[in-house]
Amino acid sequence: MKHVIQGVAKFQSDVFPKKKTTFKKLAHGQNPEVLFITCSDSRIDPNLVTQTEPGELFICRNAGNVIPPHSNQTGGMTASIEFAVAALGVTDVIICGHTDCGAMKGALHPDKLAGLPHVAEWLGHCRSAVEVLKHKHHHLSDDHLNELTCENVVQQIQHIKTHPAVAAKIASGELRLHGWMYDIESGAVTCWNSQTQMFEGIEQRYSDETVKP
């Protein structure tokens, strides 16, 4: 905890003064372009990976970067998605999974979640991804972890399409959905291509956009 407190002091003395103009503007509102949904895992830093500044990403995090399908039961993810899309008007949604995901390990081995009933229930939203892999491989093992993580991203894209605000903006061409997979060890980011049904390197996936630093 000591280094966290020291970090706040350093932010206030060294970092904040250099970005004072930015924070002065942000103090009166936000206008992010992207809703970034990712895992709560401490090893994932959306702003670091995307090299974005405060105010550019509207970030939602939970175990397994899960998006429950829309229902009449209000939850934190449902409200946050609605706010980002309908009120803030984000133009893009990124759902980002990552390697060595603990939530996906739990989905692979539900028997190990006996003492974590809320985690087990939450990961029920990943069941479609598990079933897709079971149909493909019949028996799942730890060797399928990354494949399951990728499939879970694809399934969560389907879930978010059930949210009314998202469906409306997609229909009008005002919103794009993106599925990403982040490799912690290499720093690589691969992206889902719905046309090829494959995850591709970010430069290949967005070849029509500027991706070179």
CATH number at residue 38: 3.40.1050.10
Per-residue pLDDT tens over the stretch 117-139 = 999 999 999 999 999 999 999 88
The reply to whether 23 falls in a domain is: no
Give SS3 for 177.
Answer: strand
pLDDT tens digits for 173-201?
Answer: 999 999 999 999 999 999 999 999 999 99
Domain count for the chain, please give it.
1
Residue 98 annotated in ligand binding: yes
Is position 41 annotated in a ligand binding site?
yes
Domain membership of residue 92 (yes or no) is: yes
For 142-177, the pLDDT digits (tens) are: 999 999 999 999 999 999 999 999 999 999 999 999
210 — pLDDT class (breaks 50, 70, 90): low
* Phi and psi based region of residue 52 (left: phi greater than 0; alpha: psi -120 to 50; beta: remaining): beta
- What global pTM score does this model have? 0.94
Q: Measured between alpha carbons, how far is 36 from 88 in angstroms, rounded to an integer?
A: 13
Q: Flag whether 122 is in a domain.
A: yes
Look at residue 13 and tell me if it is in a domain: no
Evaluate whether residue 7 is within a structural domain.
Answer: no
**What is the residue range of 184's domain?**
32-43+53-205
Question: Is residue 146 assigned to a domain?
Answer: yes
Question: Is 101 assigned to a binding site?
Answer: yes
User: Which residues lie closer than 8 Å to 89 by C-beta, 6 or more apart?
Assistant: 174
Mean of the per-residue pLDDT values of the chain: 95
Q: Is 150 annotated as a binding residue?
A: no
> Residue 65: inside a domain, yes or no?
yes
Measured in whole angstroms, the distance separating CA 35 from the mean position of its chain's CA atoms is: 8
